């Protein structure tokens, strides 16, 4: 899950990041904004985050105005040292309101509430298909054997007829399976084959820009030297996949 933090206090930012590591290590902070202007620019330039942790008041204004102006709904957990903002938070469709100093227990409860609401909403819009996708893969590294979960995979690529899996912590594994077989086994809600050589995880995308012939150049994290441009014939479906339309 991709999280955006909107907060101007460095100590509060550091505390939130530490609490997230303890309460929900699988969730990743993809951006930090310290003003409303920064937050507006970030939301315009990047893929929508799955969740925003936002201070109610910043030096250049109240964050409620920002979320009122957006043309799409974003899940927000508002945070403040003042309970007077609680009503405004829920009027802005805030999922939760936390008082500072935020505790690990309160943050964990708020995140679980988001996860549950997101799961229910998604399942109503997207009934689960009968197909079962592979979530765990056996990886051999020398004499060692380990399990690699699909959520750990940032991208997969083929080079010189070999197939490599790269994890979010930038470990690379050589695997004895074709990229075509990998494509069929992975959950298509999370993974997309952008060209003949590369399959990416949605959560590995950091930046995108248009390039020649209406294709899209994708910047991944961890970074890679592979060609991460969508092929011409895959670009229309890739855009649908980004918005959950596949």
> CATH second-level architecture of 136-242?
Beta Barrel (2.40)
* Residue recorded with tokens 């380990």: 146
CATH fold of 2-125 reads Rossmann fold (3.40.50)
Supply the pLDDT for residue 31. 94
Distance CA 31, CA 131 (A): 34
pTM of the shown model: 0.52
Supply the pLDDT for residue 120. 41
- Low-confidence residues of the chain, pLDDT below 50? 120-126, 130
* Residue recorded with tokens 């020649």: 212
Strand duo 153-159 + 162-167: pairing: antiparallel
Distance CA 79, CA 62 (A): 12
Neighbours of 31 (CB within 10 A): 18
For the chain, give every domain's residue range: 2-125, 136-242
Measured CA to CA in angstroms, residue 147 lies from 64, 177, 179, 204 at distances of 43, 15, 19, 20
CB 9 within 8 A of CB 55: yes
Rounded-to-10 torsion of CA 119, 48, 235, 208: -140
Residues 3-12 have pLDDT tens digits of: 999 999 999 9
Residues 83-113 have pLDDT tens digits of: 888 878 877 767 788 999 999 998 988 888 7
Supply the pLDDT for residue 123. 41
Q: What SS3 class is residue 138?
A: strand
Distance CA 53, CA 145 (A): 38
Contacts of 44 (CB under 8 A, 6+ apart): none
Supply the pLDDT for residue 121. 44
């Amino acid at each position: 899950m991709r999280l955006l933090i909107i907060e101007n206090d460095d100590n509060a930012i550091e505390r939130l990041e530490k609490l997230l590591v303890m309460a929900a290590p699988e969730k990743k902070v993809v951006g930090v904004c310290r003003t409303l202007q920064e937050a507006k620019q970030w939301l315009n330039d990047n893929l929508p985050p799955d969740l925003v942790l936002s201070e109610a008041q910043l030096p250049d204004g109240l964050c409620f105005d920002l979320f009122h102006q957006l043309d799409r709904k974003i899940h927000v957990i508002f945070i403040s040292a003042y309970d007077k903002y609680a009503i405004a938070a829920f009027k802005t469709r805030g999922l939760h309101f936390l008082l500072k100093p935020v505790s690990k227990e309160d943050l964990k409860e708020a995140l679980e509430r988001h996860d549950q609401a997101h799961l229910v909403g998604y399942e109503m819009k997207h009934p689960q298909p009968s197909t079962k996708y592979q979530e765990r893969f056996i990886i051999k590294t020398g004499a060692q054997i380990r399990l690699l979960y699909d959520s750990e995979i940032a991208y997969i690529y083929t080079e010189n007829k070999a197939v490599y899996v790269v994890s979010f912590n930038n470990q690379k594994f050589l695997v004895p399976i074709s990229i075509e077989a990998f494509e069929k086994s992975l959950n298509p809600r999370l993974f997309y084959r952008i060209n003949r050589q590369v399959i990416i995880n949605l959560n590995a995308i950091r930046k995108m820009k248009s390039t020649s012939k209406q294709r899209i150049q994708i910047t991944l994290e961890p970074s890679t030297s592979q060609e991460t441009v969508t092929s011409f014939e895959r670009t229309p479906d890739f855009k649908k996949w980004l918005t959950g339309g596949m």
